[in-house]
């Protein structure tokens, strides 16, 4: 639905459509942020770091909060996609950002398809590659639907709620040491920059940064008149993702604290599946399979949709049908890479988060430049100085973490 369409609506219908658009954007952001990469990363790092990983969760939530608020608000005020904003602020940078986000999205989507395969393997015992292929085909079917947008919103909301409810069940079953987790959330025994960069990248790096914002832009929920409701929607999305991250961490921590050793290496390693099975037996394994598959399917859709929303910077005449076709091709290419790649699925999911964490500082830097110097792009709106200061601090921090983490992140690909 375009902005022109919404102007012709009665006020009540417009409010209803706007709420639906916000809900879809919130769950697109949330399910992208808690996709198979995050699930696998959480299980891997909790198994190796224990309760100390709680600090990484807290850091990712804080950075997510600041980044998402800035990105959603600036996209809303400028009424432009991120790549167009970048070109307007720093000529030529939009093309660089678009290429990096699309490549990062491709890396992530190969991991998402691998995650879907791991999910169906745990749920039904299906071969990982066949499970990934079937899931990618289903995602393509969403975009071939005549009502692709509505189908995508409904499926993302349903699967997102399913993921949350089932993970909460497993958290209670695993009986985690909550007190120790809370202590190490603020006073960790150890801090690992590569871990934080990877988990941040898996929750707000690369395409994920722009997933909800571009969805709202496509729905016409833009301009200063929508700023307050967009801000509330962004905060609600961050709350949903934050709760889900911590619940998942506690679910795995309960297993690790009980003395169960989780294998995080090798081609067939599936750390999260081991944790869920240890917590709730074969039922837990099946529940995990459904959770991971739901997370993967929504992330395949979110990664492809958002990555291809950047394609218009190269040709402004590409409309919704063209983007949907490009999205189908993007998923097909991701599937082809997945079918021939030899890297372990779990290792690939961890690497994808780290790689997208390295992309995050570039886009955030450009958005901070816009916020500080280009009020003209935002219709003369005086942007929040508090958010700019916080965003600039995050920007410096993510550049530093990326610099310190390049080697360890690429080392994830050496798993065999």
Angle between the 227-257 and 11-33 helix axes, to the nearest 10 degrees? 30
- Alpha-carbon radius of gyration of the chain: 20
pLDDT by 10s per residue, the chain, length 416: 444 444 444 555 555 555 555 565 555 555 555 677 777 778 888 888 888 888 988 888 888 889 888 988 998 899 888 889 999 988 998 899 889 888 888 888 888 898 888 889 888 888 888 898 999 988 888 767 666 556 555 666 676 677 777 778 878 888 889 899 999 998 888 877 777 777 777 667 777 778 777 777 877 777 888 788 788 877 877 787 788 788 888 888 888 888 777 776 655 567 777 877 887 788 878 887 887 887 788 778 778 888 888 888 888 778 777 888 888 899 999 999 888 875 566 667 777 777 777 788 888 999 999 999 988 888 888 888 999 999 999 989 888 877 777 777 777 666 54
Separation of alpha carbons 143 and 340, rounded Å: 24
What's the CA gap between 63 and 61, in Å, rounded?
6
CB crowding 182-211: b at 16 or more within 10 Å, else e: eebbeebeeebbbbbbbbbbbbbbbbbbbb
Q: Which domains does the chain have, with CATH numbers?
A: 34-258+266-412 (1.20.1740.10)
| b/e sequence 215-252, b meaning 16+ C-beta within 10 Å | bbbbbbbbbeebbebbbebbeebbebbbbbbbbbbbbb
| pTM for this predicted structure | 0.76
Q: What is the DSSP string of 177-232?
A: -HHHHHHHHHS-S---HHHHHHHHHHHHSTTHHHHHHHHHHHHT--SGGGHHHHHH
Helix (H) or strand (E) holding 163: helix 148-174
Burial class (CB in 10 A: 0-12, 13-18, 19+), 318: middle
């Amino acid at each position: 639905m375009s902005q022109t369409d919404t102007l012709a609506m009665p006020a009540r219908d417009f409010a209803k459509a706007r709420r639906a658009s916000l809900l879809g954007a919130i769950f697109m952001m949330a399910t992208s942020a808690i996709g198979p990469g995050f699930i696998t990363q959480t299980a891997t790092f909790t198994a190796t770091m224990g309760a100390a990983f709680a600090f990484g969760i807290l850091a990712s939530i804080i950075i997510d909060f600041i980044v998402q608020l800035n990105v959603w608000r600036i996209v809303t005020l400028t009424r432009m996609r991120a790549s167009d904003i970048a070109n307007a602020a720093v000529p030529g940078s939009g093309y660089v950002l678009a290429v990096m986000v699309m490549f990062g999205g491709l890396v992530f989507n190969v991991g998402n398809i691998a995650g879907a395969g791991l999910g169906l393997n745990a749920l039904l015992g299906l071969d990982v590659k066949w499970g990934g292929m079937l899931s990618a085909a289903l995602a393509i079917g969403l975009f071939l639907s005549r009502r692709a947008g509505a189908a995508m919103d409904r499926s993302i909301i349903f699967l997102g709620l399913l993921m949350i409810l089932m993970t909460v069940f497993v958290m209670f079953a695993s009986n985690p040491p909550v007190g120790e987790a809370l202590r190490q959330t603020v006073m960790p025994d150890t801090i690992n920059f590569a871990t934080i960069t990877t988990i941040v990248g898996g929750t707000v790096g690369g395409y994920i940064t722009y997933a909800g914002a571009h969805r709202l832009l496509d729905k016409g929920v833009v301009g200063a008149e929508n700023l307050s409701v967009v801000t509330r929607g962004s905060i609600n999305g961050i709350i949903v993702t934050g709760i889900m991250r911590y619940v998942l961490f506690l679910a795995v921590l309960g297993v690790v604290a009980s003395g169960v050793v989780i294998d995080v290496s090798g081609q067939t390693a599936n750390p999260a599946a081991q944790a869920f099975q240890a917590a709730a037996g074969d039922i837990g394994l099946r529940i995990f399979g459904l959770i991971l598959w739901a997370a993967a399917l929504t992330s395949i859709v979110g990664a492809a949709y958002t990555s291809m929303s950047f394609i218009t910077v190269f040709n402004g005449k590409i409309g919704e049908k063209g983007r949907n076709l490009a999205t189908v091709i993007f998923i097909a290419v991701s599937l082809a890479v997945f079918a021939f790649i030899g890297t372990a699925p779990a290792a690939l999911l961890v690497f994808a988060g780290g790689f997208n964490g390295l992309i995050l500082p570039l886009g955030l830097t450009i958005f901070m430049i816009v916020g500080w110097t280009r009020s003209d792009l935002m219709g003369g709106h005086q942007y929040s100085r508090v958010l700019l200061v916080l965003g600039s601090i995050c920007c410096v921090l993510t550049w530093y973490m990326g610099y310190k983490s390049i080697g360890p992140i690429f080392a994830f690909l050496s798993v065999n």
